[in-house]
Structure formats: C-alpha cells, structure tokens
Amino acid sequence: METPASGVRPRILHYRFQDKASLYGAYMPFIENGGIFITTSWRYKLGDDIFLVLGLPEAPDGLPIAGKVVWITPPGAEGNHAVGIGIQFGPQDKGAARRTIETLLAGLLGSDRPTLTM
C-alpha cells in the first residue's frame, strides 16, 4: 500500500483478527493500558494519535479504541519481523479494550509462543 501524494496517514484504522492465534501474536500486554500490533505499510511516527476500530474473533462489532503509536517495526527490520505499528490503548475506555482482549485470550496469555513483538 502506498502513501498518498499528500503524505497524509490515515488516523482511523480498521483492522480485523480472524482467530485467537493471530490476536495473541499481536497483543501487547506489557504496554501500560495494553496495546496491539497492527501490520501496515503506512508510515507513522512515534506518538501519532490513532483511532482504531478493531475486529475481534467471536465479536460481531468492531471495538473502538483511541490510542497512540508507541512501537514501529520498519521494513527491513532485523529478524524479518512483520512491518507495522504498535498502538497503546488510551485511558479513555478505562481498560475495557484490554479486558475484552484478555477475556478472549484466556488460557493463552502467559504462553511461551512467539508474538509479533517480543
């Protein structure tokens, strides 16, 4: 996906996880308020504000999340990691996004399976 000529990055992202395994690989529980890694070729900067509509397995509606970019994996990163951004969930939802994701991932959290970030 190419960045438009105007250089404008989308501030509203729609992203859907089809299954719990992919959600587990992208969830970032080590970030304050929780976070999620989104694969994208759009170029963002640390601190960019993002509004994410997150589609989750077993959830018919998107979960709205206000957050900011706190992690960037650029193209060519060591170890062939997926290119994308980590979005820290903002305090506005008082932990609702984190609780929703952790409920879906019950039993998987704490696993030694690799993730997209750490």
User: Alpha-carbon distance 25 to 21, whole Å?
Assistant: 6
What range does the domain containing 18 cover? 12-104
User: 3 in a domain, yes or no?
Assistant: no
pLDDT (tens, 9 = 90+) of the chain, 118 residues, equals 334 444 556 688 999 999 998 999 999 999 999 999 999 988 899 999 999 999 998 877 889 999 999 999 998 887 778 899 999 999 998 999 999 999 988 876 665 655 555 5
Please indicate, yes or no, if residue 2 is contained in any of the structural domains. no
Q: Tell me, yes or no, whether 1 lies in a domain.
A: no
Q: Alpha carbon of 11 to those of 26, 50, 53, 61, 109: distances in Å?
A: 19, 5, 11, 20, 29
Number of domains in the chain: 1
In a domain, 110, yes or no: no
At 65, which CATH number? 2.40.10.220
